[in-house]
Chain A
């Protein structure tokens, strides 16, 4: 009697678990170091805010004031919520279609799928496990939206009650199941690329359209923006407002899931190998908090064939530094999805600040930190590629430190423009002090340096036995590397964040921002000592 798929799975897991190293304590130790470092920065920043507010004579040390002032109605919470749901659903569909959604690891596809055993036994666990993420995401996104973002009286009298929140969560879960089922069917039928392309377009277009609508509203021309609410992605918000019929989407979700489940054995080994490669790329980029690498992992199947910037190719007689700068510019221009993502990210803080329910300065400051860091990562993607393949740089007669600094030039220029665009949009959409704009511009080069620091951080070593965790194996040292990059971005953005929290922009903030940006440049562009050197 031959083994069953389940027995092979169990054997592989048990034999592997018998020799994982480190275990939970090593994981806790790594998390502790990271969280401790973050807490120290937050406490320091909090102390500075309180002192600054006191010294500016705010009258009290309460944090109610802000450099942002809601001078006009801005975007309604319902409009923003519906657009957010559309964007998130498109993002979920795009991610699901990119990583699978049915995921196995590469060794599993190589060592399991060739066995003459029931394929469902190997594929089904990945199908069920991957379903957890969209379901958890649906609950996490819908509960706060249903509780805080929707006007309970907008569509019915029962909005805001426990029942309507439960209905919203149920609708959202149904929607997530639909997305998961459709993505699985697309994977089975080899149509993932088409689904990814449609979802990717919706994901970029929705926030840009909302920002355009908000700009028109700020200039006094209000165009009704309610259509995203009536798309299936907006139905959870209608359910939160008291409507019951959106729950029907749960039936559709279950039907899509059942259809996909029945066809699981039809998944080809090639499709599973592709998703395994993408999945491991995604896991690596998530653990290294590298949005550009993550984006590359998620879009790798599409391939980029841009020929932009061909006229900028280095010519004879050019210095090595100039040749490197030109090559970098060409690569940045060819990274169209990265540039589009950076533009979309520039609109997000303004949109968040203009939604009254979300306009708390602390929240907006955190959103700026994330958006700025991810935009800088997109612009510094060339540095990341260079770090992964240092032999390319060694072809040119340039000092390693100079190469790092040259990699900072274009991201610094880009982030200066990005911070200007982001802060101008924020002030127009949410109102507030125009002094925030030059202050944000001063921080731009520092955030770019943070992305360079992240690009050259040591990569996690996936070849060594990993630390066992509930989420799966985590490479030793990966979590320590997480803060390399975000730490420098946080420091560069401290003056901007503190001024937003403190409620004013003192003159001292400008030189402080410039000094911090310079320090981050020196820190981020330094050459790390190699292990054993």
Chain B
């Protein structure tokens, strides 16, 4: 099939899908004085089996807050992140998402939490647009085609909408995964090293976008190694290693730069 008819076929499918959707899931904005806790950890020890990989982690993340986890490779940042979203069981302590134990079998969790880990798995015969259509339509987005077009444009994938995953570069696949998190409504966004495999311009744009999303009311929990990205997107930071330390974004960025002058 030549590109033009393929694009038309895709648009037809997208129209069919979007005609079924109605009101998007509401992202209610709570009163400023009674901001609920979106995600929290209390003396959490993350690890595998009974072996913890880092010190005790405690935090409470509310709407309009962005918490960055920093630390050297192997310190346990991603392990903490996976534990907070329920992909790993805690070794000790507790963590909650929307006040409950994190469990993606719960409808609320799947509706309100968008998670992007490094999972490079795509349907080989579905195009970039069709992958995004599944997410947008599945989350009840009203205008699926417009939402997809916006995200393709933002993530520099506009010309790849009809491409199959095997023809994308590693960076483009990463951007597709990120686009899937933005094409849907959410209250909490969890990202594991979102800057990886992105060029400098894209990193800056993504950091600004995240900052805007946080200002708009979502909570953001991310792992990052990029000081500039952290400064632009985070409102607080935790340094993860054998001991866990709470830092201001500027101090966290400085700590990353001191540990690795080439970072970012």
Contact = CB atoms under 8 A, between A and B. Distances in A.
A107 B121 contact: yes
A343 to B, nearest CB: 31
B134 A116 contact: no
B125 A19 contact: yes
B134 A106 contact: no
Interface in A176-198: none
Contacts, number: 111
Interface in B2-27: 6, 9-10, 13, 17, 20-22, 25
Contact of B126 (A15, A106, A117, A464): A15
24 contacts: A1-B22, A2-B22, A3-B20, A8-B138, A11-B130, A11-B137, A14-B13, A15-B10, A15-B130, A16-B123, A16-B124, A16-B126, A110-B119, A111-B121, A111-B135, A113-B110, A114-B104, A114-B135, A115-B134, A115-B138, A268-B104, A462-B124, A463-B166, A464-B124
Interface string B154-166: 0000000000111
Given A8-B138, A111-B131, A117-B138, A1 B20 contact: yes
Contacts of B111: 116
A2 B140 contact: yes
Q: Chain B CB within 10 Å — which of A109, A116, A266 has the most?
A: A116
B124 A3 contact: no
Interface residues on B, range: 35 or more
B68 interface: no
B123 A111 contact: yes
Contacts of A110: 119, 121-122
The 7 closest A-B pairs by CB, nearest first: A115-B138, A16-B125, A116-B111, A2-B140, A106-B121, A463-B166, A116-B110
A463 B105 contact: no
B124 A473 contact: yes
A269 B110 CA distance: 11
Interface of A: 1-3, 7-8, 11-12, 14-20, 106-107, 109-117, 119, 265-266, 268-270, 462-466, 473
Nearest to A1: B22
A250 to B, nearest CB: 32
B2 to A, nearest CB: 12
Interface string B102-123: 0011010011001100010111
B125 A2 contact: no
Nearest to A4: B20
B124 A465 contact: yes
Contact of B110 (A14, A106, A115, A464): A115
Q: Chain B CB within 10 Å — which of A2, A12, A19 has the most?
A: A2
Interface string B127-156: 100110111011110000000000000000
B56 to A, nearest CB: 24
A107 B138 CA distance: 15
A102 to B, nearest CB: 14
Contact of A3 (B9, B10, B130, B138): B138
B258 interface: no
B13 A15 contact: yes
Contacts of B262: none
B87 interface: yes
A109 B130 contact: no
Contacts of B115: 114
